[in-house]
Amino acid sequence: MSWPYSLLFNSAFRRMDPERAHELAFSLIERAGKVPVLRDVVQGAVAPYLGQRSGGPGSVRLFGRVVPAPFGLAGGFDKNARAVRGLTMLGFGFIEIGTVTAHAQPGNEKPRMWRELDVRGVRNRMGFNNEGAAAAADRLRALRSTATGRAIVVGANIGKTKVTPPEEAAADYATSARLLAPWADYLVVNVSSPNTPGLRDLQATESLRPILQAVRAAADEANATAAGGRRIPLLVKIAPDLADDDIDAVADLVLELGLDGVVAVNTTIGHDRGPGGLSGPPLLGRGIEVVARLRERLGTGPVIIGVGGITRADDVRAYLRAGADLTQGYTSFVYEGPLWASRINRALTRSAGSTASGRYE
């Protein structure tokens, strides 16, 4: 943590309710991102590597795009695609919006987010509070109407609406996929958040198969008319709490269905700190282990996005060595401050070449 942020964190944020602090920081980022001159100056100063969209050192060719830097923002921070420009300005190599559900919903009752200061972690049971897939799609459509907005690599993470019964899950996911596929660079089917009752049961391959098939079909159908037939990459996001055999089963399903990859991992319920999923440094070891296991089983084809417990560039390097193509983070943003992503991506783009993946420039 740099000292100016450390001062701000200890004197202000730390004393505030965590969700309130998130909303405050979020609205500052959202608003700053809407002022073109400010945005360009900040981005030019903190994230010069983003200017090299045709592929500078450390960039990664994936999803038919050049991802300018390997560390991006994980799902859950910008659930409604409100601050994609502002977050990019701060140096994330790509942004995953969501989780978005087919229908708008309020999420769980508050409080639903806690700091776990001793481990620099966060615990949450937000429950997919979001404005619904149509609202997020409208914002992404507006983003894509400008050249600078089109240049940003954006993933859309979709989940199940809470009130939708499990037997209608596939149709619920498909609704979101249809709305978002024309505007996103990749889709993530989230079946791993611990805060929607029964959601993680959908990771079982017999439940997951029909969902992924329905999402694939809906996305293809939408893009046939709205996006010139572009086939959007489809990934699935899994929990760190899956048994190793279940991780293998998901990997086998990815291969069977010709899916494009896996995002690993979501928050863990393997803790005794209270309700909700834990994120941050305690996840790092298991996250890397899951990525390594997936890479072994998947071979070189499918993409793996590694996420969980990343604080520094070395953590990203560990994920990349384990077989990830890209990485993401959320929790350490809270503790490290606004320059966090830029510090990591600057270090990675400086040391490019040592990160060894065929997809690296």
Question: Counting contacts by CB under 6 A, is residue 92 touching ligand FMN?
Answer: no
Residues 127-165 as b or e (16 or more Cβ within 10 Å = b):
bbbbbbbebbbebbbebbeeeebeebbbbbbbbbbbebe
CA distances from 79 to 4, 72, 95, 101, 132 (A): 28, 15, 11, 10, 9
Pick between residue 60 and residue 236 the one whose CB is nearest to ligand FMN.
236
Q: Does position 132 bind ligand FMN by CB under 6 A?
A: no
Question: CA 39 to CA 67: how far, in whole Å?
Answer: 19
Residue 181 or 188: the one with the smaller Cβ distance to ligand FMN is: 188
Least distance (Å) from ligand FMN to the CB of residue 276? Answer: 9
Residue (80 or 148) nearer to ligand FMN, CB: 80
- Decide if residue 157 touches ligand FMN (CB under 6 A): yes
Closest to ligand FMN by CB, 116 vs 220, is: 116
Shortest Å, Cβ 192 to ligand FMN? 7
Residue 47 Cβ vs ligand FMN, minimum distance, rounded to whole Å: 19
Q: Which of 59, 192, 193, 342 is catalytic?
A: 193
Q: Does residue 126 interact with ligand FMN by CB under 6 A?
A: yes
Is 186 one of the binding residues for ligand FMN (CB under 6 A)?
A: no
Residues 247-266 that bind ligand FMN (CB under 6 A): 266
Among 47, 84, 89, 122, the residue binding ligand FMN under the rule CB under 6 A is 122
CB-count burial class (<10 Å; 0-12, 13-18, 19+) for 301: exposed
CA triple 178-89-94, angle to 5 deg: 40
Size of the site for ligand FMN (CB under 6 A): 27
Select 331 or 349, whichever has its Cβ closest to ligand FMN.
Answer: 331
**For the window 190-229, what string marks contact with ligand FMN as x by the rule CB under 6 A?**
x--x------------------------------------
Q: What is the largest CA-CA distance in the chain?
A: 52
Known active-site residue 192: no
Which residues in this chain contact ligand FMN in the complex, by CB under 6 A?
A: 74-76, 79, 99, 113, 122, 124, 126, 128, 157, 190, 193, 237, 266-267, 279-280, 283, 307-310, 329-332
Active site residues: 193
